[in-house]
Every structure is written in C-alpha cells, then in structure tokens.
Amino acid sequence: MPPFFGIRDDQIRSISRSLEMELNNGCPSGRIFGEQLGSAFASYLAVHYSRAAPMLLPSRRGLPMARLARILEHIDQHLGDDCLTVDGLASLIGLSGPRLGNLFKESMGQPPHTYINIKRMERAKKLLLESNLSIAEIAFEVGFSNQSSFTDRFRRIVGMPPGRFRDEGR
C-alpha cells in the first residue's frame, strides 16, 4: 500500500476535532471518553489506511459504550484487588460471567482477564519507574498476593523481570 499524503478525510477530522475540544476544555467527559476517542481514531486509521487484517481489530459489536465505560472504570479503580473477577464485573451490569466475557472480547479485542493483566502490568511499570516501593509492595498494589506470582506474570507480559525493568528504566 503506498503512503498517504495530503488526504482529506472527514472522519479523521471529526474525531480529531472531538479529541481537541475535549482536551482544550480540561477533559470534562473523563479519561475513559478520551481513551475511547483515541481507540476510535486508531481503529479507523487501521481499517482505512493500513495493511492490518480487519479480523485483528476490535469489533464494533459488544457491550454498549456506557456499560463498557462502567466496566473499564471499575477495573481501573480496583486493579489492586486480588478478587477482581469476570463474575464480579458481570454483576455490575447485570450479566452472567460468560456473557460478559464474550461481549467484552467483542468490544475490546481481548478477554477481560487479559485486559486486567495488561492494565496491572502498565500500573506496575509506572510504579517501578516512579516510586521507591519494593517489588513485593508493587505486587500487592497491583493485585497479586505474592511477589513470585507477580514476577512470573510481569516477565511473561513485559519480557523481563520487574527488577531489571526498573534498573533499565532509571
């Protein structure tokens, strides 16, 4: 596919304008709204201007935006809870665990537990780089009951142990 230069795309302009207005007004709709605009922008670009296989992009079906936003906000606020479960999330919006799992995957392109693990690792990376907490304390902060489980999961997702990540990032 050749590079695209000088393209006038009304959809890109519209999403960009919405994001710009949100940022200029101090993000009155909240972080999740901005993230969703960013996801819409990225999805649109991927579908219309890349070679990415459409089946790898998140589906437009799935959870209604209000329910998805509620679930995402709850996950973000409770990442440190080791009892953050699909069934618990499902009960927030009146669905069964399996039904939420299917709809969440349609909406986000990955199952809830994968999303939660990635979010936990993002928060852990931030804590590793920006705090003086021990790795055991960080493990607890992001919802692990022990440092060993955290280190194994961190290594699997990030590609290196947390101590090395901290050393290389500072």
Domain boundaries, the chain: 10-56, 68-170
Contacts of 146 (CB under 8 A, 6+ apart): 136, 139
Low-confidence ranges of the chain (pLDDT < 50): 1, 52-59
Q: What SS3 class is residue 33? A: helix
Task: Report the alpha-carbon distance of residue 48 to residue 152 in Å, rounded.
Answer: 38
Superfamily covering domain 68-170? Homeodomain-like (1.10.10.60)
